[in-house]
A and B are shown apart, each in its own frame.
Chain A
Amino acid sequence: MTAVEIFRQLRSAFAPKTLICGVLIGFGALCLLGRQAARENLHKHFIRFTQWTGPETKYYPTVNEMMAIVRAKIKPGQILVVVGGNSVLRGVGQPPERVWTKYLQENLGDGYCVVNFAFNGSGVTDGGAVAAEALRREFPRQIYMANAAPTQGSVPDGSVVYRFMFWDAYHKGLLVDDPARNAAIHESHKLPYYAEGMNELHAREWLDHWFYFQDFWNDITLVKFNTVWGFYVPGLTKFLQPRKRLPDPEPDFLAMPMSSRYVEANLEAEMLNVRGCSVYAYNKDAEGKWQPYTPVWDQFFAATKGLFPPELKQRTLILMSRNSPYYIRRLAPDEQERNDLAYLDAVKNWQKIGYASMDYGSDFTIDDYGDRTHLTWHGGVKLAKLVSVKVGAMSQELGYLDKR
Chain B
Amino acid sequence: MNPLETFLKSAPVKHAFSLLVGLAVGVLFHYLLFRLTLPVQPFIYVAF
Task: Please determine whether A26 and B45 come into contact, CB atoms closer than 8 angstroms.
Answer: no
**Residue tally, chain A, CB below 8 Å to B:** 51
**1/0 contact string of A160-199 vs chain B (CB within 8 Å):** 0100000000000000000000000000000000000100
Residue of B nearest to A57 (CB): B42
CA distance A64 to B26 in the complex (A): 24
Contacting residues, chain A, for B39 (C-beta < 8 A): 55, 58, 197
Contacting residues, chain A, for B29 (C-beta < 8 A): 23, 26-27
**1/0 contact string of B29-42 vs chain A (CB within 8 Å):** 11101110111001
Query: Known interface pairs A87-B45, A200-B37. Does A21 touch B31 (Cβ–Cβ under 8 Å)?
Result: no
Binding site of B, secondary structure by majority: helix, strand, loop or mixed? helix
Contact of A217 among B21, B31, B45 (CB under 8 A): B31
Residue of A nearest to B23 (CB): A26
CA distance A87 to B47 in the complex (A): 8
Most central of A27, A28, A230 by chain B CB within 10 Å:
A27
Contacting residues, chain A, for B27 (C-beta < 8 A): 26-27, 30
CA distance A207 to B47 in the complex (A): 33
CA distance A16 to B15 in the complex (A): 9
B31 to nearest A CB, angstroms?
Answer: 7
Contact of B21 among A19, A228, A230 (CB under 8 A): A19
Contacting residues, chain A, for B19 (C-beta < 8 A): 18-19, 21-22, 25
CA distance A20 to B48 in the complex (A): 50
B23 to nearest A CB, angstroms?
Answer: 4
Contact of B17 among A14, A121, A230 (CB under 8 A): A14
Chain B residues packing against A (C-beta within 8 Å): 2, 4-5, 8-9, 13-15, 17-27, 29-31, 33-35, 37-39, 42-45, 47-48
Given A12-B8, A21-B19, A54-B43, 10 new contacts (CB under 8 A):
A13-B9, A13-B17, A14-B21, A18-B18, A21-B22, A26-B27, A28-B26, A121-B48, A216-B34, A232-B42
Q: What 7 A-B pairs have minimum CB-CB distances, sorted nearest first?
A: A22-B22, A26-B26, A27-B26, A26-B23, A204-B37, A18-B18, A13-B8
12 CB contacts below 8 A, A to B, read A13-B9, A18-B15, A21-B19, A22-B18, A22-B22, A24-B22, A25-B22, A29-B26, A56-B45, A58-B39, A211-B33, A227-B35
